[in-house]
Amino acid sequence: MTEYDYWKIFPRMPRKVTIGDITIRDGFQHEEKFVSTEAKKFYLEELIFAGCRNIEVTNLGNPFLMPQFRDAEELLAHLKGDRFKKRCERKGIDTDDIVLTCITIREGAVDRAIQLREKGIGPDRLLMMVSTEEEHHFANSGTTLPDYWKECERSIKKCNDAGMMMCGTVSTIWGSPIGGATELKDAVEFSKRWLEIGAHDIEHADHDGSASAAEVYRYFSMVLDEMPNPDLHIAHFHETKRVASASVLATLHAGIIHFEATLGGLGGQPANFLDDCPVKGTGDYYYEDPRYVGLTCIEDMLVQVDEMGIEHGYDVDRVLWLGRQMERTIGRRLRSEAAINGRTLKEGHMHFARPGLKKRKEKFGEEPGQKLPKEWGAQAVLPEKYRAK
């Protein structure tokens, strides 16, 4: 007989997940217009009020390369300030439960984070990034993998000494947009290397939408076989083929409990054009069409796990509202379907009901709620050839 209990079929699947938001950093870095500092503050606050407790605030790299983040210190000061703390207190939110992350691809940005920490506005957690495919890694970091690993080891020690956590990202797990196919075993080894040199957790990233559900399940099963504590691992998916929700499901089946996403699926390679001026970014884009670049939508992911009965800690309706506001902020239709179409409502959409059903049933002598002819049996009788053997 078929087993119908989902958690018996997939015993590793969690009943509770954490979904971190990375809209303000990863989402906005791809935009070719400057998103105002006030808008960034608004979305940072509102996402936290909606339930987010792990949030990427900004990139502490050189603002000459990525001027979208020239307001990095102002954003951090705002979230560390008394006004925001008092607003959280009134809403029953303990600010000690909020983890503020900043991206620090190179050691200079780590040094900047430490200086901000000394000023009382530094982040709680930093992130550095390696790709298993070296051409992609070089495009992101500007140096070789061996040289970068040594830089990461130095940076983690500095970070830990300053009282901050470090997340190590592994990218090009399922393929590289530059070098092509990659090996899953390389990404597992890189993940272990991050822990070896002192990282606190690992972001496992599909940065170009290469992942497929079967390979995602295989990879995260390999990861948990080698490093079984699920608190160490964060799943990060980009969406380029409309299959990322299947990857999320495969990740849940494997037993991963931490995810990342952005409002509207915003995100991608840092922009090399901002407002009316070319900027350096990370150089030429490694994709053909910006309409098909981005991350998994937090709106859609929340609806997906919520309707599976998995606890997540968010006010889903508030996040859907934020997704609709983000479309106005960005000025175009974004990628979330849930933000537009809403959740699956148990009470339905009765304003779409056609008039006259009650009278028609009365005309036919039918009872309210009657769905079958009265003379039919209570249960269907299947013909022999269709019955289960």
pLDDT digits (tens, 9 = 90+) for 135-152: 999 998 999 999 999 999
312, pLDDT greater than 90:
yes
345, pLDDT greater than 90:
no
Looking at the chain, list the stretches that DSSP marks H as alpha helix, in order from N- to C-terminal side: 6-9, 37-49, 72-79, 82-90, 107-118, 134-141, 145-161, 184-196, 213-226, 244-254, 298-307, 316-330, 338-341, 357-363
- Quick one: pLDDT band at residue 284, thresholds 50, 70, 90? confident
- Percent of the chain whose pLDDT exceeds 70: 100
pLDDT of 67 reads 95
For 387, list phi and psi in degrees, rounded to 5: -80, 150
CATH level 3 topology of 6-341? TIM Barrel (3.20.20)
- Quick one: pLDDT band at residue 283, thresholds 50, 70, 90? confident
Q: Whole-model pTM? A: 0.94
What are 57's two structure tokens? 């605030």
Q: Is 213 helix (H, G, I), strand (E, B) or coil?
A: helix
Query: What is the rounded distance in angstroms from the CA atom of residue 88 to the CA atom of residue 91?
Result: 5
pLDDT of 240 reads 87
pLDDT of 348 reads 82
Between 389 and 298, the more confident residue is 298
Residues 6+ apart with CB under 8 A from 81: none
Cα end-to-end span (Å), the chain:
10
pLDDT of 288 reads 78
pLDDT of 385 reads 95
1, pLDDT greater than 80:
no
Q: Which range is least confidently modeled, 122-136, 211-225, 338-352?
A: 338-352
pLDDT of 357 reads 94
257, pLDDT greater than 90:
yes
- Quick one: pLDDT band at residue 49, thresholds 50, 70, 90? very high
The 10s digit of each residue's pLDDT in 373-388 is 999 999 999 999 999 8
- Quick one: pLDDT band at residue 50, thresholds 50, 70, 90? very high
What are 246's two structure tokens? 């299947």
DSSP characters for 297-364? BHHHHHHHHHHTT-B----HHHHHHHHHHHHHHHTS--S-SHHHH----TT--GGGPPTTHHHHHHHT
Query: How much is the mean pLDDT over the chain?
Result: 95
pLDDT of 101 reads 98
Tell me, what amino acid is at 48?
A: I
Query: What is the rounded distance in angstroms from the CA atom of residue 48 to the CA atom of residue 318?
Result: 11
Query: What is the rounded distance in angstroms from the CA atom of residue 206 to the CA atom of residue 66?
Result: 22
Q: For Cα atoms 26, 95, 100, give the angle at the middle one, nearest 5 degrees.
A: 25
Q: Report the pLDDT averaged over residues 155-178.
A: 96
Query: What is the rounded distance in angstroms from the CA atom of residue 46 to the CA atom of residue 56?
Result: 14
The 10s digit of each residue's pLDDT in 210-242 is 899 999 999 999 999 999 999 999 999 999 888
pLDDT of 198 reads 98
pLDDT of 364 reads 96
pLDDT of 252 reads 98
Q: Report the pLDDT averaged over residues 314-338.
A: 97
Domain boundary assignment for the chain: 6-341
- Is the CA virtual torsion 78, 82, 85, 87 positive or negative? negative
